Structure 1
Amino acid sequence: MVLQKYLEELKKIKLLSPEEEKELWIREAEGNEDAHQKLITSYQPLVFKTAAQFHVPEETMMELIQEGTVGLLEAAENYDYTKGVAFSLYAIHRIRGRMRDFLHREFSHVELSLDRETEEGWRLAEVLPSFQLLPEEVAERHAVSDRVSRAVDRLPQKEKRVLMGIFIENKTPTVLAADIRVTTNHIYRLEKQGVRRIRGMLSRFMSDLKK
């Protein structure tokens, strides 16, 4: 029931336009609490979307959402809108990290087979896949994530906006076309160009990783 009420509240949240969000970040940087709250509320769907990737029962899901919201708040406190990095890309690492830390605290001490299914129908293997990584694998993932973020930052503004919209904000090409005031076909072209450009920037780095 609690999760259902939460989902009902999520449906009421309206997406901010880029202009509205920028104005809120300016006001938030000046200490405006109302702007801060509006920003946190507008990004609650990102918290839920991240939590939904973990296959857990409702009670644990709500705790994950709470942890993710803490990560969202931490990200907002440290975010600098003047650097031009989309907040969703910046915040997702904090949100996901908080959730994984919570699951690790809650379940790492439980002596259960990772393949054993609980009464609720979920498996620890589905929830805790990253906890089995070796330290060097974790470092490699962080390195790749950092390179991808930097590559995205170097894209032309429209390509960056399209990729962020599709892969981070989960917007459809039609919605993005309306936002940017171009045709849907142009959105697809910008997406392909952006992906191709990122692959080019990462090709040497990925080749070095495989050596």
Structure 2
Amino acid sequence: MFGKYLAELKQIKLLEPAAEKELWRGYKEEGNLDCRQALIEHYQPLVFKTAARWRHDERAIMDIIQEGTVGLIEAVETFDYTKGVAFSLYAVHRIRGRMLNYLEREGKYSRNVADPAALAPYDSEDLDSWENMLVDSGKAISQQAEENFLAGQVKTALERLPLKEKYVLSGVYLNEQEPKILAEALDISLSHMYRLQKQGVRRLRGMLSKLMQHW
């Protein structure tokens, strides 16, 4: 089944921007379901690319891909092509959110498997974002450690967070994603998203405080 799926992916050809726009117009303005199906098929490689970040056996990967495809369909149905935003940027949140929910629900998520959004490379700007977020009324963490040490400790602490908290904090502070989009991707309310954010920050502060005590 997985081999057949890969073979089908290889048959998908990239659309020219004008051709893709015409498909969006046909679906959104005329209700043409053939255009809808063409868009779903065209962006199926995005689902596979997202699913491939998790190392599972072929059967599990197909389950993850199936969930991601549901997210892709939802994205196609809710996307406003007139806004000038790239569909892939819009859709990947829905796709990844569906996959994360599935993995968490089925207990198949491993903390040794890197979520691409949550474990993105840390550069100096990322570090500044984390420091600003974690500064308490007392000393700033940056006063207690060198920048490279802090980056490593933040990454270690981030890996230990519950899946959804890690996804939310990475999206907000590292990738500067809109809270509303993150909430939609995880299929939760905005208020729930903010609760996850607050809980994640509190956990990070606690973990980093303990790590610093042993430094």
Asked if Structure 1 and Structure 2 have the same fold, meaning a TM-score greater than 0.5 normalized by the shorter chain, the answer is: yes
Distance 1:107 1:128 in 2: 15
Q: C-alpha deviations, 1:68-91, integer Å up to 9, x for none? A: 000000111110000000000000
Alignment of 1:100-111 (within 5 A): 100-107=100-107
Partner residue of 1:15?
A: 14
Partner residue of 1:93?
A: 93
Q: C-alpha deviations, 1:106-139, integer Å up to 9, x for none? A: 116xxxxxxxxxxxxxx92333766842676554
Distance 1:49 1:137 in 2: 20
**Does the 8 Å contact 1:72/1:91 carry over to 2?**
yes
Partner residue of 1:6?
A: 5
The answer for unaligned runs of 5 or more in structure 1 is 109-122, 150-211
Partner residue of 2:171?
A: 142
Distance 1:55 1:20, change over 3 A: same
SS at match of 1:127: coil
Distance 1:132 1:14, change over 3 A: same
Distance 1:31 1:96, change over 3 A: same
Distance 1:139 1:44, change over 3 A: closer
**Does the 8 Å contact 1:54/1:126 carry over to 2?**
no
Distance 1:107 1:43, change over 3 A: same
SS at match of 1:56: coil
Indicate whether 1:28 and 2:27 are aligned: yes
| 1:141 partner amino acid | S
Partner residue of 2:60?
A: 60
Indicate whether 1:133 and 2:119 are aligned: no
TM-score normalised by structure 2 residue count: 0.56
Q: C-alpha deviations, 1:154-176, integer Å up to 9, x for none? A: xxxxxxxxxxxxxxxxxxxxxxx
| Identity in percent | 53
| 1:22 partner amino acid | K
TM-score normalised by structure 1 residue count: 0.57
Indicate whether 1:70 and 2:99 are aligned: no
**Does the 8 Å contact 1:47/1:65 carry over to 2?**
yes
Aligned length: 134
**Does the 8 Å contact 2:111/2:160 carry over to 1?**
no
Distance 1:41 1:138, change over 3 A: closer
Distance 2:107 2:40 in 1: 29
Distance 2:68 2:41 in 1: 13
Q: CA deviation at 1:146?
A: 6.4
Moved over 6 A (4+): none
Alignment of 1:177-188 (within 5 A): none
| 2:17 partner amino acid | P
SS at match of 1:143: helix
The answer for unaligned runs of 5 or more in structure 2 is 119-158, 179-215
Instruction: Report the RMSD for the aligned CA atoms in angstroms.
Output: 2.4
Higher relative contact order (CA 8 A, sep 6+): 2
